[in-house]
């Protein structure tokens, strides 16, 4: 039975992404994805997709490494914010309130059980289009860019976790998100776990990190308008020298149509259509997939690319060689003289 608390979270509000190749990553998001830069502070560029009502959803930060920084989530009301903050405080994972910053009012910072930094907020700054990107219709946040991939909105985030079970239990029991699908391991526990806030079938995902390191990142997904846009995104990435990892193809789990690329900073970015399948039944049960079912591959039978299970950010030592070995179907062997990391 659904409860009111199931709807405390509104949506994924913003992601900070680290890149060691700032200018190249900025070119990818701004010029190839057609996001708009709305603010530049210090080492960070703030970017938005054309149909997002908030000021920004991507904070791109120059760094000596790649990976994900803090993720912001908007609540559905001030009361919902207070409810979830209380639950997070009780869990012992809260860091405390933070002052208002670019685009958002005061926020409550915390970490998930795997150490990913996050914050909840309710007060937000609505984007006001200028003459250059004022839309023709008033029910649209800004003008359709009509260039590149035309990224419409941020869709979901997928974290790598050293312990998917602990992270999933946190999102189910503390954040009160609704499970949509999960992969049950033969040995017990879950290898991946999908959560939704409303009727879109997922907003937050955790996947098992084979390295057992904490706090790493698998990908976030940007939604263009249509499946055709994702096919075109593959052509555009090809023309621009962006590494295509996998797809375009259709997922078995949650049935999204997808394309995975690695942006110039090494982070995996997905283009996905998540609007095709909605979960309307308030009592819809979680869909569980066995390891054997998962191993069958994606919707139409193509096997999942091996790097999907080896590549994450920040890179572990020898990440590129590990990925290459996986693609070539051979075991990665540590270079002579190297000692394996913890």
Length of the chain measured in residues:
342
Near Fe ion by CB under 5 A, which window of 57-65, 92-100, 152-160, 311-319? 152-160
Tell which one of 204, 270, 274, 313 touches Fe ion (CB under 5 A): 270
Under DSSP, the state recorded for 157 is E
215 in the Ramachandran plot: left (φ > 0), alpha (ψ -120 to 50) or beta? left
CB of 108 to Fe ion, least distance (A): 26
Distance, in Å, from the CA atom of 18 to the CA atom of 70, rounded to the nearest integer, reads 10
Distance, in Å, from the CA atom of 308 to the CA atom of 221, rounded to the nearest integer, reads 14
Nearer to Fe ion, 142 or 256 (CB): 256
Nearer to Fe ion, 91 or 304 (CB): 304
Nearer to Fe ion, 80 or 274 (CB): 274
User: Contact at 8 Å (CB) between 286 and 181?
Assistant: yes
Distance, in Å, from the CA atom of 6 to the CA atom of 19, rounded to the nearest integer, reads 34
Residue by residue, DSSP assigns 162-194 as S-HHHHHHHHHHTS-PEEEEEEE-TTSSEEEEE
Residue 245 interacting with Fe ion (CB under 5 A): no
Distance, in Å, from the CA atom of 201 to the CA atom of 273, rounded to the nearest integer, reads 11
Region 156-195 residues binding Fe ion, contact defined as CB under 5 A: 158
Near Fe ion by CB under 5 A, which window of 109-117, 213-221, 305-313, 319-327? 213-221
* Residues in binding contact with Fe ion, number by CB under 5 A: 3
CB of 68 to Fe ion, least distance (A): 14
Nearer to Fe ion, 58 or 221 (CB): 221
Distance, in Å, from the CA atom of 315 to the CA atom of 80, rounded to the nearest integer, reads 36
Residue 259 interacting with Fe ion (CB under 5 A): no
SS3 category, 289 = strand
Residue 221 interacting with Fe ion (CB under 5 A): yes
CB of 207 to Fe ion, least distance (A): 9
Binding mask 278-317 for Fe ion (x = CB under 5 A): ----------------------------------------
CB of 158 to Fe ion, least distance (A): 5
- The footprint of Fe ion (CB under 5 A) covers 158, 221, 270
């Amino acid at each position: 039975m659904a409860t009111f608390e199931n709807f405390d979270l509104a949506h994924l509000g913003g992601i900070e992404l680290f890149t060691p190749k700032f200018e190249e990553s900025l070119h990818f998001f701004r010029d190839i994805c057609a996001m708009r830069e709305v603010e530049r502070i210090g080492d960070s560029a703030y970017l938005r997709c054309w149909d997002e009502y908030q000021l920004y959803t991507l904070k791109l930060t120059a760094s000596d490494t790649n990976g994900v920084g803090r993720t912001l989530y908007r609540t559905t009301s001030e009361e919902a914010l207070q409810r979830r903050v209380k639950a997070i405080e009780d869990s012992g994972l809260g860091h405390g309130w933070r002052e208002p910053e670019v685009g958002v009012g005061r926020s409550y910072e915390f970490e998930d059980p795997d150490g990913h930094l996050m914050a909840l907020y309710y007060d937000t700054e609505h984007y006001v289009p200028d003459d250059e990107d004022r839309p023709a219709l008033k029910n649209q946040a800004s003008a359709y860019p009509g260039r590149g991939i035309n990224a419409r909105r941020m869709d979901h985030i997928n974290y790598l976790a050293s312990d998917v079970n602990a992270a999933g239990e946190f999102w189910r029991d503390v954040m009160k998100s609704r499970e949509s699908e999960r992969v049950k391991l033969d040995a017990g526990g879950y290898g991946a776990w999908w959560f939704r806030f409303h009727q879109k079938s997922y907003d937050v995902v955790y996947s098992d990190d084979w390295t057992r390191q904490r706090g790493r990142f698998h990908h976030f997904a940007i939604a263009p308008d249509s499946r055709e846009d994702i096919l075109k995104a593959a052509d555009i990435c090809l023309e621009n020298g962006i590494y295509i990892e996998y797809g375009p193809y259709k997922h078995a789990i949650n049935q999204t149509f997808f394309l995975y690329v690695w942006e110039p900073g090494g982070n995996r970015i997905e283009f996905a259509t998540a609007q095709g399948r909605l979960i309307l039944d308030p009592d819809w049960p979680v869909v569980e997939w066995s390891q054997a079912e998962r191993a069958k591959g994606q919707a139409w039978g193509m096997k999942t690319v091996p790097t999907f299970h080896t590549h994450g950010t920040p890179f572990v030592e020898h990440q590129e060689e590990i990925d290459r070995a996986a693609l070539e179907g051979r075991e990665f062997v540590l270079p002579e003289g190297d000692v394996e990391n913890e």
